Structure formats: C-alpha cells, structure tokens
Amino acid sequence: MALGRGLGELLGEVETAYSNSNDIDTNNAIIELDINLVNPNPNQPRKIFDEDKLKELSDSIIEHGLLQPVTVIEDGKGSYTLIAGERRLRAHKLANLDTIKATIIDIEEFKLRELALIENIQRDDLNIVELAYSYAQLLNEHDITHDELSKKVFKSRTSITNTLRLLQLNSYVQQMLANDKISAGHGKVMLGLDEELQRKVADSIYGQKLSVRETEALVRELKSSNSKNEKNVRKKQKVSYDFKPLETAIENLKKSDLKVKAEKNYFKIEIKSQEDIEKISNLLS
C-alpha cells in the first residue's frame, strides 16, 4: 500500500513534534500526560535496550527534567500510543515518575509504524539487527524500493542491502550482533554457512577475538574441511549390489574366454581385441 504522503514529509512531521514549545503551533503544544495513559508503540522495531544507559537517562531526567518531550497519538480510548521516545518513556517508569511531557500529533493510524521506524532509523542508536528489521518493515509494508529508502533515510543503497542480508543469519548469530559481541563485518563472512557452522564461527570470533580477516580464513578452512568430509562420506556410502541375477550371463562371458569382474557397484568386461567385442555382441543378442 502506497502512502498518501512521502517519507520525507512524514519525517518532517516528527521533527516538528520534537521542536521546543516556542517553535511549534498550539495544536502541538507540550502537555503533561499521566504516564499510565501512554502505551508503548506495538510496532516499535527496537527490542533491546541497554539497562545501564536507561538508568543514566533516568537519573538525568530526575535531576534536570525531560528536555525533549515524547510524541504520542490519541488512540480513541482515552489513552495514547507512543510514536517516538521509547527510551524516555522507559526511563520515566524506571524513575517512578507519574507524568511525562508529551506532544500529541494528529496522524492516520496506518502511518503509525512508518513514523516509528523512520524516527528510530534517523534519531536513535538501533543495533545493526534492529536496523535491518526496520529497513525490511519499511520496504515490505510501505511499498518502498531500496533506492527510495536510500534517499529518505540518507543511507547508501549498498549499506542498506548489506544490512538487510544480515537477516539471513540464524537467531543465535543475530543476537550476538545485537549485543555487539561480533561485528556486521563478521556476520557478512558467515552468510551462506549452515546454522551449525554459523554458531561455531560466531563462538570462535567472540572467544578468540578474531578479526574479520581471521574469520574469513577460518571460514575457508571449515568449508575445505567440510568438503573433504563430504567426499569421504560419499566414498563410504557406495552401495554394494547383488550380482546373482547376472550369474548366467557372467558364466557365458567367461566361457567365451572373456575376463569379467563384478563387485560392489560396477560390472567390468575386459576387452583385448575386436574379436572380444564380437563375442559380447553375440552373447547379448
């Protein structure tokens, strides 16, 4: 579904909502809301929050107050849904504060997710995995191409594509990326590996503090080792067949002074002359 307005205009609307009270019109005045009436955005792409940083923000709000209000939308039930400011809302709750400064904006409900995604991409420190999910949601749910997204969020198309590729990694590796235990460069090297190898490589990177270059060497080594193992397995798995149904044919070939060998998965007739070919042809016919 294409949106009625472009991402740039929507982003501008969020920027306006973040302006100080002297710069916004009366429709977007900052008010104090009962914190229990503000519900988190269910479409919030950010899932992991640093508890230490939240505590620092909470302490700062207690000492200095909230300098930047959160942005909300009325949900029609006497309460509000958060558009932007998830960390600030969490920090208020951590500080056991009863109210929070907020700006109420009037915007259609179906744009709620898009605003939250763009606000996070542009203004907050999403980890690389959350950023990838945000890109994917914008692309899939709002009829946006990679090129359009690139222009709207001021990221190169290559950067967006490479970030999205990280979603191909398994959840274990994605969690390590989200927690900064490995880098996006490490993740890129693991693309294409099966789940077991991804986990093995990720643990090696973290445990041995491997660089991206060292990880590339490790992956090459593992791929080479796996390739050899697969070849050995295939050799061991060669089937042995029962040649009893061919006993009569084998006897006839031997009676014609032909050397025959039948074992495991092959049947061999040694040919030493054109006469041998004639013998075989006569027996077959």
- Indicate which residues carry an active-site annotation: 86
What are the residues facing 100 on neighbouring strands? Answer: 33
- Rounded CA separation 242/102 (Å): 82
Residue in 173, 95, 91, 99 with CA at minimum distance from that of residue 132: 173
